[in-house]
Amino acid sequence: MIKGQYVDLRVIDKDDEYILKGWASDEEVCKFIPTVFPNRQLFIKNGLLGVYSDKSSINLLIQIEDDVPIGICSLYNIDFVSSIAEISVTIYAKNCWGRGYGFDALKTLTEYGLYEINLHTIYSNIIEDNERAIKCFEKAGYEKEGMLFERLYKDGCYKNLVSMSIVKK
Amino acid sequence: MLIGDRIVVRPVENEDIPTIFQWSSDYELKELFDFRVAFLNKDELCSEVEKYRTDERTIDLCIADKSSKRIVGRCVLTEVDFINKKANCFLYIGEQEFIGKGYGTEALHIIMDYAFNKLNLNRLESYVFDFNKKAIKCYKRCGLKVEGIIREGVYRRGKYHDIYIMGILKCEYEEMTDGGDIA
C-alpha cells in the first residue's frame, strides 16, 4: 500500500471486481475515459479484472479513510528500457469529486513512479475538454507538451488530446 | 546483433548448442566460473538455453568470430533488473585458440555499450573467483572495480576461495568512453 496525504493506493484483488463493474457502467464517470460506454469489457467474464491484473502495468485502487474505495489509478504502457509510462487516475465515486483526492492520488503515484519504479518520464493524453484534469496535472508538476489532433472518437465526434508529461529532474 | 572489430555478439541459437555443450564439458574452463562443476548432458543444456530464452530477466548471448562466423564464447546477462537498472554479467571465451587474444575484452566493451546505451542500465556487475586471474585482469582493463569480496564463497579443488564482486557504473563507463578510450 502506498500512502498519500488523503488517499491510500492499494492492490486490486478478485473481491474488488463488483466495485469495478459498478463504476465502469456509470456514463457520467466514463465521459472523459477513452473507452466506449458501456464498457465492452463488462461482458467478458473476468474481463475487467483482467485489465487490472495485466503484468505490464501497475493498477491500484484509490481508497480514503475506513478503506472506502473511490477510484483507480494506473501506470501502464510501461517501457522499462526508455523508462517511460502512461498514467491515469479516475475517481469513480462522484460524491468524492472536487475534494482533491484525484490530485493526491496523481501526486502520490507520480512520485512512486519516478522515485521508486525509477521511471524517467510519465505522461498522459487528456481529452481537451477535461479542463479539471488538465489543471490537476499542472498542479502536480506536469507540463503541456503538445496536442494530438482528433485522436479519439468519443460521443459523436473526434476529440483532441492534450499530451502532458513530467520528466525526472 | 552487436558488431565489434573482430567479433559479433548475438543471441544463442539452437545450432550453437553442440559447441556450447563441448565447452560445458571442459573441466578446465568450467571450474573458472561455475559455482558447481556439474556437467550437463545435451538435454539439460537445451533446457537451460530454453529457460534463458524465455526468462525476461536473462539475456543469453554468444560471441562469434566476425570473419569465420564461428562461435568462440558466451555472454549471459542475468538478473536484468529494469527498476534498479542493473544486471549481472558472466562471460567466457570457450575456444582455446581465441583465449588470451583480447576477444573477451572486446566482447565486454560491446556488452557494456549494450547494457548502458541500449538497455539504459546504470550498473553492470560480475562475480569473479579469485583464482580466475585472466578474468580479473580483463575486467579491470575494461574499467570494472573490485567492490567487495565474498569470503570463501566457492569451494574448488579441495579448498575455499574468495569471490570478487566487480562492477562498473554508467557514469564511470561514460567518463571512460568520452576520452575516446574504447576497445
Chain A residues touching residue B118 (CB < 8 angstroms): 81
The CATH code belonging to domain B2-178 is 3.40.630.30
From chain A residues 100-159, the ones with a CB under 8 A of any chain B CB are 116-118
Rounded mean pLDDT, B31-54? 88
C-alpha cell at B59: 539475456
Residue A117 CA, chain-centre distance (Å), reads: 17
pLDDT given for residue A43 in this prediction: 40
Question: Which residues, including other chains, have CB under 8 Å from residue B122's CB and lie 6 or more apart?
Answer: B84, B85, B86, B116, B169, B170
Query: Which residue among B84, B118, B119 places its CB closest to the CB of A118?
Result: B84
Chain B residues touching residue A80 (CB < 8 angstroms): 82-83
Rounded mean pLDDT, B3-13? 95
pLDDT given for residue B179 in this prediction: 61
pLDDT tens for each residue of B10-22: 999 999 999 999 9
Percent of chain B with pLDDT over 70: 97
pLDDT tens for each residue of A45-76: 445 555 555 667 888 899 998 889 998 899 98
Q: How far apart are CA A134 and CA A127, in angstroms?
A: 9
pLDDT given for residue A93 in this prediction: 87
Chain B residues touching residue A83 (CB < 8 angstroms): 82, 120
Write out the DSSP string of chain B: -EE-SSEEEEE--GGGHHHHHHHHT-HHHHTTT-SS-PPP-HHHHHHHHHHHHH-TT-EEEEEEETTT--EEEEEEEEEEETTTTEEEEEEEE-SGGGTTTTHHHHHHHHHHHIIIIIS--SEEEEEEETT-HHHHHHHHHTT-EEEEEEEEEEEETTEEEEEEEEEEEHHHHHHHHHTT---
pLDDT in single tens digits along all 169 residues of chain A: 899 999 999 988 777 777 777 776 777 777 777 665 555 454 444 455 555 556 678 888 999 988 899 988 999 889 999 999 999 998 888 888 889 999 999 999 999 999 999 999 999 999 999 999 999 999 999 999 999 999 998 888 999 999 999 999 8
pLDDT given for residue A46 in this prediction: 46
Q: How far apart are CA B105 and CA B139, in angstroms?
A: 7
Rounded mean pLDDT, B94-108? 94
Please judge whether A118 and B83 are an interchain contact, meaning their C-beta atoms are less than 8 angstroms apart.
yes
A83 close contact with B: CB closer than 8 A: yes
A56 close contact with B: CB closer than 8 A: no
pLDDT given for residue A51 in this prediction: 59
Report the chain B residue with the minimal C-alpha distance to residue A82. B120
User: In angstroms, what separates the C-alpha of A165 from chain B's closest C-alpha?
Assistant: 20
Which residue of B84, B120, B123, B170 to mutate against A (max A Cβ within 10 Å)? B120
pLDDT given for residue A44 in this prediction: 42
Asked if B64 and B8 count as a contact pair (C-beta separation under 8 A), the reply is yes
Domains of chain A listed by start with CATH number: 2-123 (3.40.630.30)
The crossing angle, in degrees rounded to 10, of helices A101-115 and A131-139 is 50
Rounded mean pLDDT, B81-102? 94
Asked if B130 and B32 count as a contact pair (C-beta separation under 8 A), the reply is no
Q: Which ipTM was obtained for this model?
A: 0.73
